[in-house]
Structure 1
Amino acid sequence: MTRNRWTLVSAATALVLLAILGLLLAAVPREGGEWLWTDQMTKGGWMAWSFPVALFFWVIGTILVVFTLLAIRFPETPRVGVLGIETTRGDRLFITLLGSAFINIAWLGLDIGPQPWAFAACALYAALVFWKV
């Protein structure tokens, strides 16, 4: 593919992902002009789809789309890191997501502190995984 074509693919992908985010924002319930961020977006559904839950899944989906485009545009050869195993970007993403889940579960279970600090710990963990693993 030519460079102009990749620019078009990237722009179209970004527009689609932003449109989906816009639809999620439009689905946030409001009462009296106030946004009810943690209320259910669909009443009587089988899952409590609040905006934070939907945003979490949107972020994971967006990361997967971006990493797929990166793998197509910039193919990578596996590298050996601290773990002593060959990993690609996708492998390191999986290790990061799995480790972040455990960090958050431990954070909640041990009542370490406010949850946004767990996000900071996960971001630091992700940086270390992509740098060293």
Structure 2
Amino acid sequence: MIDAAIPAHRRGNWQAVYLTAATLLGAVLAFLVWATPTKDGAKDWTAPMIPGGWMAWSFPVAAFFWVIASLLVLFTILAIRFPETPRRGILRIETTRGDRLFITLLGSAFICLAWLFFFGAPVWWGLALCLAYAAAVFRWV
């Protein structure tokens, strides 16, 4: 959509919005990398970030929640910048981008749990399957 087609009251300095969001999310990610404990001079990616804490906040756990927060920020900006209309896909229900994101996240959680049950610990191929599932959901649902 070109800016000329957007009403004057909806125009804004979107480059500044994008840059601010990217800077804040990048700063949070940089902080998470910085806060990752070191062991013998190297980052110990799976060590607890809060020793003795009630939850195992390791870098992979923090990165997972960072990705979810980044997706929510991105989809919020997209919903404001490019208002959407629900569409009907193969499920025959009307869905928006946010609905498809929720369906993708929920389905990906079940795919990863099934992968862990059937194949075990390294979930890299399960993640690849989740990305293919996400592409299918956003294309056809």
TMscore range, shorter length: over 0.9
Structure-2 separation of matches of 1:33 and 1:6? 42
Residue matched to 1:2: 11
Amino acid in structure 2 at the alignment position of 1:94: F
Q: Quick check: 1:121 aligned with 2:124?
A: no
Q: Which amino acid in structure 1 is aligned with residue 81 of structure 2?
A: R
Q: Secondary structure at the match of 1:9?
A: helix
Residues in 1 aligned to 2:120 and 2:40: alpha-carbon distance in whole angstroms: 36
Instruction: Give every structure 1 segment of 4 or more consecutive aligned residues whose post-TM-superposition deviation is greater than 6 Å.
Output: none
Alignment partners' CA distance in 1, 2:119 and 2:21: 39
Aligned residue pairs, count? 132
* Equivalent-residue separation in structure 2 for 1:123 and 1:21 (angstroms): 21
1:38 aligns with 2:18: no
Query: Which ranges of structure 2 fall in alignment gaps of 5 or more residues?
Result: 1-9
The percentage of aligned residue pairs carrying the same residue is 58
For residue 100 of structure 1, what is the aligned residue in structure 2? 108
CA RMSD of aligned residues (A): 1.2
TM superposition shift of 1:112 = 6.2
TM-score under structure 2 length normalisation: 0.90
Output the amino acid matched with 1:79: R
Tell me the CA shift for residue 113 of structure 1: 7.5
The answer for the alignment partner of 1:13 in structure 2 is: 21
1:60 aligns with 2:68: yes
- 1-structure distance, mates of 2:54, 2:68: 21
Structure 1: segments with no counterpart, 5+ residues: none
Shifted more, 25-34 versus 108-117: the winner is 108-117
Deviates more, 1:94-103 or 1:25-34: 25-34
Q: What's the CA shift for 1:33?
A: 1.3
Distance 2:120 2:39 in 1: 34
| SS of residue matched to 2:30 | helix
